[in-house]
Amino acid sequence: MHEKTIPNPTLNNKKLMKIFLHVGCGGNYKSSCLGFNNDNWKEIRLDINKNVNPDIVGTLTDMKSVETGSVDAVYSKHNIEHIFPHEVPIALREFYRVLKEDGMVSISCPDLQSVCEAVLEGGLLEPIYNSPIGPISPIDVLYGHRRSIARGNEYMAHKGGFTYSTLYKAFKEVGFQSMAGGRRGYNLYLVAFKQRKPDEEIKKIVSQLIPNAKFT
């Protein structure tokens, strides 16, 4: 594994910053990570594609370059759908392993329930929303962004998917103790905590990570 030197995560040499692992970062940086884009957090970027200049080259299922219990949070935005269903427990166990005891995961991915409803209502190929890479149709959400894959970026292919209940269950089965999140638009959002936390504390944290969160 190729690995860059990670700077000492301090702020003005006074306040120790928390560390979040940005998995499957692609070309994105801390500024795009809601709830982590402030001076309280230090980002470590991990991706399978060395061309996006991650701090660590690795995969969701193999993060051996990340020490056990070394990060305060894992941030995963639209990448867990890029692994096969049988690999999901492996990836989530890796998330669990690298987290400190009071750590958490903030994850988002496509909501297959909403996407399937869109297929029934408007068709497989009709755009359902616009993104920075162009119009997105249900077929792009189900199988991966067609134009990117056609250009040779096979990392964009989707190999699995979730409803909110299956995503919640997957985290619970790995051992996460407290979870909250829900559905919004064509996306699922979940915040999972390694330790059990009071409901009010969960709501406070989740409200910073998921705008207009409806707690489930």
% of the chain exceeding 70 in pLDDT: 90
Q: What is the pLDDT of residue 10?
A: 45
pLDDT, tens digit, for every residue of 120-135? 998 899 999 998 888 9
Query: Average per-residue pLDDT in the chain?
Result: 91
Domain co-membership, 21 together with 124: no
Domain co-membership, 70 together with 120: no
pLDDT, tens digit, for every residue of 18-75? 999 999 999 999 999 999 999 999 999 999 999 999 999 999 999 999 999 999 999 9
CATH code, domain carrying 99: 3.40.50.150
Tokens of 161: 């998917």
Domain co-membership, 56 together with 149: no
Tell me the C-alpha distance between 17 and 27, whole Å: 23
% of the chain exceeding 90 in pLDDT: 82
Q: Is residue 56 part of a domain?
A: yes
Contacts of 162 (CB under 8 A, 6+ apart): 80, 81, 109, 110, 111, 112, 170, 188
- Beta strands 15-16 and 41-47 are unpaired
- Coarse DSSP helix, strand, coil percentages of the chain, rounded to the nearest 5 percent: 30, 30, 40
Q: Do the beta carbons of residue 191 and residue 180 sit within 8 Å? A: yes
pLDDT at 211 over 90: no
Count of domains observed in the chain = 2
Last-in-domain residue among 159, 177, 198: 159
Q: Is residue 194 part of a domain?
A: yes
Q: Is residue 2 part of a domain?
A: no
Domain co-membership, 195 together with 167: yes
Q: Which residues pair with 215 in a beta bridge?
A: none
Query: Residue with structure tokens 């692609």?
Result: 26
Q: Is residue 216 part of a domain?
A: no
Domain co-membership, 49 together with 125: no
Tokens of 134: 């162009």
pTM for this predicted structure:
0.89
Domain assignment of residue 134, given as a range: 112-159
pLDDT at 80 over 80: yes
